Every structure is written in structure tokens, then in C-alpha cells.
Amino acid sequence: MPQPDLTPTPAGLTLTPAGPALAPRYRDDPRALPANPYLRLFSRPGTRAFTAGNLIARLPMGMFGVSAVIMIAGAYGSYALAGAVTATNLAVGSVTGPLIARLVDRYGQARIAVPATAYTVLGSLVLALCVHERAPVWALFLTTAVTATTPNTGGMSRARWAHLLRDDPDALHTANAFEQAADELCYMIGPVLAAVLCSALFPEAGTLTAGLLFLSGVLVFAAQRSTEPPVAPRTAAGSPLRAPGMAPLLAVFLATGAVFGSMEVVTLAYVDGPVAGPVLALQAAGSCAAGLLYGHARRTARLRTCLAAMTVLMAMPLLAASTGSLPALAAGLLVAGMATAPTMVTGMGLIQRLTPASQLNEGMTLAVTALLAGIATGSATGGWAADHAPFAAFGFLIPVTAAATAFALCTATGVGRRAQVPTS
């Protein structure tokens, strides 16, 4: 017969089936918690530990692609080959990602994420070895295709917040804002770190470091079992794609991804120099700052309002590029980025509301897959525009058009009306 657990519980905490939670006196007495919403967020037991592990695991997401391009291009002398190999990984990952997320929902984060990550890291090591030994080109494509099992670390972190804060929409909004700001920060730091490692040490250093960080971070994240969402019983609902409003929302994510992909390519083509990376990073910096500020709000904006603001702000780089001034373009990108985080926070919040709890990881991975498909489409379109531009700033029309398309889709389907979060 199991014996009762007589371990004393710290003051202010209660035990729930999912682990420790804030005791009622903390929830009912606002003086017991910090006034800052982010400090309140991380005063919950276990949240700092799983967030730290997830951030370590998420940083390599901005490193793998850049590291592979530098590594392959340096060894084989072809950026086209490097781009094709990384595109193959992205294409295969768009298929395997939702499948892995479905397994995470069915069997739990720790049980699936750790072996999936280990297999991905093994593939990265094999790819680095193939490049170092100048293996045949087909070996690069085969390796990157059969090891594309990267779990959606950001989605798993958001799923934990959604479970922990399911009865506190204001706190969940703050958590989503933090997660988006963390995404932007990782994609700001990751590529720079990868480039420095590959150039200062050796070409494979970026890939090796990214693999070590990824596996270490996932192990730390998965070890925090008290905050892991319980495995919910499967329902007969089928794929989250069948949820009302999900398909049009994914179409909006697709168009939004095209904004990001096209802006990156046309900016790099327009600046065309060593300062292109720092200039482009200003867009992520603006998004990171806006995301943190947005997390202080007690109500999200409607999705269509965010997309309308994005359409207007994405015109700022176009106007700045028309002047031919690099500082003006940098300022324009900083301003344009401020629409990104609020849009993504609101969109991901809506994904959480539309997706059944038992399929939350799969639903958010579908959103990420739609974004990645849009980024790939936007990158290709932006590249074409850069090569065939009738004038220098022509390419910056593509992000504006993509943002306007996302706004039109949202308005036509009415899906954004579901994003409003009631205040408490």
C-alpha cells in the first residue's frame, strides 16, 4: 500500500496533480506578489528552471542554419549548395515537425523531446563530419533529410505556460509576450554567435556548439517534470486542422511568414555588405522591445488590428530605402519590427484558444510550420525581386504586400475576432 507523502510543503505553495502551484492566499492577495507582471510570472515554482533550459535549447535555432551555410560554402565553394541543403532540412522538418508534436501530446514532452533531440544532434555531427571529409554531395542531403526531427522547443514552453496559467488569461498573455521576445532575442544572438565561432575557430565550430547547447538545454527542460503538462486522453477530434477557424488562421500565418522571409532577403540585398546583419537585427530588436511592452497590457489587441499596424509599419523601410539613406533604413526596420511581436503573441494566443488541450503542441507546431512555409516563399519572392528590381527599393514592396494579404485574409474570414482576451 502506498504511503502518504509527509514531506512538508513550503509556505505559500500547494501541490496539484501537475506539481506545485501558487497557494490561494497568493492568488487572492495582490500584495503577496510583485507588481511587475513578469516578476509575478516567474514567482511561480518551476517556471524559472524550465524557462532557463528552454532558452538554452532555443538559442541554437538561430545557429544551425547559419553554421551550415558557412561550413558547407567554405568546404565546397558553393552558396547554392549550402542553401539547398538547409532548404532540404526545412522542407523535411515541415512534415516531421507536426508528427513529432503529435507524439509529444500523446506521450509527454520529456519522453519524446529527448530522443528526438539526440537524433537531431547526431545528424548535425554526421553532417559536420561529412563536410569536413568532403563527402559526396548526396551524403549531405541524405543526412540533413533523415535527421530532421527537431522538436518545437518554443511550442513546448508555450504549452507549459498554457497549462500552468489556464485559469489566468492575463498572466498567459504576459507569458506569450515573453516567449515571443525570447524568440526574437535568440534569433538576434544565434546567427551572430554562429558566425563568430565559425570564423574565429574552425568552420564546424558553430554546428558543434549549437548541437551541444541544444541537447543540454532540452535535457534541463525535460527534467522539470513538475511543470510538464499531463498527457491528456486522446479524443476523436482528429487533427487540429479541423478545429473551426484553424485553417484560415494558418493561412494568415503563412502570409505573415512571407513578410519576415522577404524582408530579410531584400534588406540583405539592398545593404549588401558587412553591416547588413546588424542593420537587419534592428528589426528583431524592435520586435523584442515591443513584445516585452505588450506583455504589460491587460488585454490583447484584435489580430486584424495587429496586422493592420504591421501593414502600415512595414511601409517604413520602403520609404526609408527610397531615400537611399542607410541610417534611415535602419530606423525604418526598427520601427517595422515593433509590429511583429504583438502580431505573433496575439496569433499564438488564438492558436491556444482554438486547439484542444490534448493537441496543443501539434496545433502550435502547425502554426510554426505555416510560418516557415511563408518565410521560404517570401525569401524566394524577395530574392527574385532583388534580382529583377526596376529600382533599388522595389524589393521592399514585397513585405508590405504580404502584410496587406495577411490583413485581408484575417478580415475576410473574421478569424481575428476570436483573439480578444477578457480582462480580469
Q: pLDDT for 142-155, tens place per residue?
A: 988 888 888 888 88
- Which three three-digit cell numbers place residue 295? 506583455
> In 3D, which of 310, 305, 348 has the Cα closest to residue 177?
348
> In 3D, which of 43, 127, 21 has the Cα closest to residue 82?
127
Check whether 197 has a pLDDT greater than 70: yes
Instruction: Show the DSSP H helices in 5-108 as ranges.
Output: 24-28, 37-41, 47-58, 64-76, 79-107
Give Cα 121 to chain centroid, integer Å: 19
- Which three three-digit cell numbers place residue 26? 497568493
Chain-wide mean pLDDT for the chain? 78
Q: Say how many Å lie between the first and final Cα of the chain, rounded.
A: 44
* Dihedral sign, Cα of residue 201, residue 207, residue 212, residue 217: positive
Residue 116's pLDDT band, with cuts at 50, 70 and 90, is: very high
Q: pLDDT for 53-109, tens place per residue?
A: 998 998 888 788 778 877 887 888 776 677 778 777 877 887 888 888 888 888 888
| Across 132-159, average pLDDT | 87
For residue 299, what pLDDT is reported?
64
Q: Provide the Cα torsion 99, 105, 106, 108; round to 10°.
A: 120
Q: Work out the percent of the chain whose per-residue pLDDT is above 70.
A: 83
For residue 177, give every residue at least 6 positions away whose Cβ sits within 8 Å of its Cβ, in sequence order, or none: 291, 292, 294, 295, 341, 345
Q: Work out the percent of the chain whose per-residue pLDDT is above 90.
A: 11
Rounded to whole angstroms, how far apart are CA atoms 165 and 194?
A: 35
- Please, what are the domains in the chain? 35-231 (1.20.1250.20), 241-424 (1.20.1250.20)
| Across 282-298, average pLDDT | 77
Q: pLDDT for 360-402, tens place per residue?
A: 777 777 888 888 788 777 777 777 777 776 666 788 888 999 9
Rounded to whole angstroms, how far apart are CA atoms 167 and 174?
A: 13
Q: Burial level of 189, CB count in 10 A (0-12/13-18/19+)?
A: middle
Angle at the Cα of 304 (from 302 to 308), degrees rounded to 5?
A: 120
At 279, which helix (H) or strand (E)?
A: helix 276-294
> In 3D, which of 127, 123, 167 has the Cα closest to residue 18?
167
Least confident range from 2-11, 124-133, 166-175, 242-251: namely 2-11
